[in-house]
A = this chain, B = another copy of it.
Amino acid sequence: MPAETTLSADDPEGRTERSRPTMREVAALAGVSLKTVSRVVNGESGVSPDLAERVRQAADRLDYRPNLTASNLRRADRKTSTIGLLLEDVSNPYSAAVHRAVEDVAGVRGVSVFAASLDEDPERERALVGALVARRVDGLIMAPASDDHSYLLNERRSGVAVVFVDRPPRFIDADAVVAADREGAATGTRHLLAHGHRRIAFLGDLRSIPTAIERATGFEGAHSEASLEPDPSLIVQGLHTSELAERAAMELLRRPDRPTALFTSQNLVTIGALRALRALDLQRTVAIVGFDDIPLADLLEPGLTVVAQDPTTIGRTAAEVLFGRLDGDRSPTATRVIPTTLIERGSGEIRPV
């Protein structure tokens, strides 16, 4: 039997395209059995040094590349060394930082990461989970877009580990790693109250997003603690883009009884609000505290005071929890809450006129 089967076909440069060599072909060239090649490729013990060397040379000559998907099919553990990561949008700085942290933990274990964006679309979430399960990922880390995750029970029952990030699971008992949304928002709000503000506007994201609700709750909670009540007309939600936020902030700031401070619940909302403040030249008059840190926030004038999340810790923790489960951790599921940090840079320390 020939050691190479050559298919005719040309690549763009006119070189012959050749089908990938298999273990069988390596075995034939080395004059050993298939199983011996398998042992060498997988670094199993019990192969005589000279046979092993012959196998390695044959593999080299043929440019042999092990096929992980084939080996996984038969292997006892059934692990693909592959996980899925579903985020709101991989190009959003927060998601991207989570992504990088997950990648770093996965990388040292030789696990590859499928990353994808959900865009707050529950149907997309279902479709992508399906695509990843069809590729037999070992686990899933997700910031869900849907509000019912019970459909994941079936997947988990057949061995897929699932960890939620950024948003808690609903209708399923699962591990989660989230930011201290409510407490963080309360801290930011208290900061403004402590600086004398009594008319603070809240600019929030879609109410379908659990973190948005938590942050609104924290905003209100800080008021209650101080026996105050926020003016309902200063609470605007459903702002999912910086454009919408800019328009909403514009309207609020043009009112005769405009707020003396803004609390913005998310990075894009903060950016929109900053644009509105600048457009009306109020950036030194009206205070603002934003949830989520933003690159360059320290270079604005005044600097932007924020309640910063720690996406790197969130991502790393989520990955560690996931791999713990894959390694057999059977302890009860838990939600880990990663604290936020108030960073004072100027915009949040402006006092009301």
Contact = CB atoms under 8 A, between A and B. Distances in A.
Interface of A: 10-13, 15-20, 63, 65-70, 72-73, 80, 82, 89-93, 96-97, 99-100, 103, 107, 110, 112-117, 130-136, 153-159, 173, 271, 274-275, 278, 294-301, 325, 330-333
A136 B100 contact: no
B73 A69 contact: yes
Contacts of A69: 69, 72-73, 80, 135-136
Nearest to A15: B157
Given A80-B69, A271-B295, A100 B113 contact: no
Report how many copies the assembly holds.
2
Contact of A133 (B11, B65, B96): B65
A25 to B, nearest CB: 12
A296 B89 CA distance: 19
Given A73-B69, A133-B65, A100 B114 contact: no
Contact of A134 (B66, B100, B159): B66
A325 B12 contact: yes
Contact of A131 (B63, B100, B112, B153): B112
30 contacts: A11-B157, A12-B173, A12-B332, A16-B157, A19-B158, A19-B159, A63-B154, A65-B130, A65-B158, A90-B90, A90-B100, A91-B93, A91-B99, A103-B116, A103-B117, A110-B131, A112-B114, A112-B131, A112-B132, A112-B135, A113-B115, A113-B116, A114-B114, A271-B295, A271-B296, A274-B296, A275-B298, A294-B295, A294-B296, A296-B296
A158 to B, nearest CB: 4
B96 A91 contact: yes
B11 A156 contact: yes
A13 B333 contact: yes
A134 B332 CA distance: 35
Contacts of A134: 65-68
A274 B295 contact: no
B300 A158 contact: no
A333 B158 contact: no
Nearest to A312: B91
Contact of A17 (B80, B158, B278, B332): B158
The 3 closest A-B pairs by CB, nearest first: A91-B100, A69-B69, A96-B96
Contacts of A332: 12
Contacts of A294: 295-296
A18 B300 contact: no
Given A90-B100, A134-B67, A159 B20 contact: yes
A11 B330 CA distance: 7
Nearest to A10: B330
A65 B16 CA distance: 37
Given A12-B325, A19-B159, A65-B158, 15 more contacts: A18-B157, A65-B130, A65-B134, A65-B155, A68-B134, A69-B136, A70-B73, A90-B99, A91-B93, A112-B131, A114-B114, A274-B299, A294-B295, A294-B296, A295-B296
